[in-house]
Amino acid sequence: MPRSLSGRNFLKLLDFTTEEIQYLLELAKDFKRLKRTNTPHKYLTGKNIVLLFEKTSTRTRCSFEVAGNDLGMGVTYLDPASSQMGNKESLEDTAKVLGRMYDGIEYRGFDQNIVENLGRYAGVPVWNGLTTEFHPTQMLADVLTIEENFGRYKGLKMVFMGDARNNVANSLMVVSAKLGINFVACGPKDNMPDEKLVATCREIAKENGCTITLTDDVKEGTKNADVIYTDIWVSMGEAAELWEKRIKLLSPYQVNDEVMANANPEAIFLHCLPSFHDLETSIGREIHEKFGLKEMEVTDKVFRSSQSKVFDEAENRMHTIKAVMYATLK
Ligand code: CP
Ligand code: NVA
């Protein structure tokens, strides 16, 4: 049992020990049982939280809202247009004001520095709901989903395919190193995670008996993998002009039948979502018109297959975010 997480920020997983991450996962399992059995758990009645979103969201926003309500808290949502932050008021002043009114602050936006500064000045716990560099709440849901499928996560092989230097890939590498999961970043050589972060993760991985591998070889990278993971090829905040370049660069790393066949027969497919796996989105249709692609980072067939656990993973966002809020606010 780790020391209490009460009063702590949740900004990146590098700030947490293996035991602390495991504790949050155990807590999430408890909360999932309570939710599934309709058992009230308004443990934080009387508290209030604010959600600051500078980028759009479905899962993260709804997870914080539902989890906050389930715990008995008041929840305020602020989108980019409805606060003064950054336009008329500095981040430091905003953080200090919000810290006077709320018991916790969620932030989704751009540089990791922004959320780190919010955490420095707010005086109440700050939770990272995604930055350009990291997406730490996502990882808890991912590992919980892995554990639900395999009964364990330590010693498994997880492969991230595609844009291996984005926020999700970075965070997956960190959580893998912390929890003893063998992590493979499989993508083009010049699209790999930051060298310094790789070196840090390799040090942590050594302590936890696992490996961090970078490869541009799909066959080698995905061989006998237990978890195949991918994400969109152009992330929020990146220029739309990048699509053409990324499609060329990342198409060889699409998750398709061949990739799944090369993995462990019991392998599962994960994706943080949203995903471009068909033509049911406006961006998907635009890309189809311009470049002729019907599906991108994952084929529709794999996305809809029984190996795909993406909707369990999405549900687990809520249970794990609830655990983070409870542990830091109780
Ligand atoms: N996976 C994830 O963070 O989804 P949203 O962008 O919808 O929050
Ligand atoms: N890499 C994606 C993750 C979305 C949840 C992005 O930042 O847009």
For ligand 1, say whether the CB of 59 is within 6 Å of any of its atoms. Answer: yes
Residue 241 is which amino acid?
Answer: E
Contacts of 118 (CB under 8 A, 6+ apart): 91, 94, 95, 105, 107, 126
Residue 112 has what pLDDT?
Answer: 98
pLDDT at 1: 60
Dihedral sign (CA 283, 136, 163, 255): negative
pLDDT at 201 over 70: yes
Ligand 2 center to 157 CA (angstroms): 22
CA distances from 290 to 232, 254, 279, 282, 294 (A): 17, 19, 13, 12, 11
Q: What is the reported pLDDT for 90?
A: 86
Amino acid in the structure at residue 254: Q
Cβ neighbours of residue 239 under 8 Å, at least 6 residues apart?
none
- Is residue 3 over pLDDT 80? no
Count how many Cα atoms sit within 13 Å of the Cα of residue 218 in the half-sphere of its side chain.
Answer: 18
Locus of tokens 């309709």: 38
- In this prediction, residues 229-240 reach a mean pLDDT of 97
Q: Are 214 and 192 in contact (CB under 8 A)?
A: yes
Pocket test for ligand 1, best of 272, 276, 315, 321 (most atoms within 8 A of CB): 272
- Is the CB of residue 140 less than 8 Å from the CB of residue 324? yes
**pLDDT bracket for residue 184 (50, 70, 90):** very high
Q: Which residues contact 63 (CB under 8 A, 6 or more apart)?
A: 137, 317, 318, 321, 322
Active site residue 41: no
**Confidence at 243, pLDDT banded by 50, 70, 90:** very high
Annotation marks residue 257 as catalytic: no
Give how far Cα 196 sits from Cα of 76, 200, 202, 238, Å: 37, 6, 10, 22
pTM of the shown model: 0.97
- pLDDT reading at 11 higher than 80: yes
* 316 CB within 6 A, ligand 1: no
pLDDT of 83: 80
Q: Given 186, 201, 210, 272, which residue is catalytic? A: 272
- Is the pLDDT at 304 greater than 90, yes or no? yes
Residue 112 Cα distances to 117, 119, 132, 133, angstroms = 9, 11, 7, 6
Active site residue 120: no
Summarised one tens digit per residue, pLDDT across range 98-150 is 999 999 999 999 999 999 999 999 999 999 999 999 999 999 999 999 999 99
Mind listing the pLDDT tens digit for each residue in 66-100? 999 999 999 999 987 888 877 888 888 998 999 99
**Average confidence (pLDDT) over 212-227:** 98
- Kindly report the length of the chain: 330
Q: 76 vs 82, 106, 203, 240, CA distance in Å?
A: 11, 10, 40, 31
Average predicted confidence (pLDDT) for the chain? 96
Integer Cα distance of 197 and 303 in angstroms: 30
Worst-scoring range by mean pLDDT, 25-29, 78-82, 108-112, 280-284? Answer: 78-82
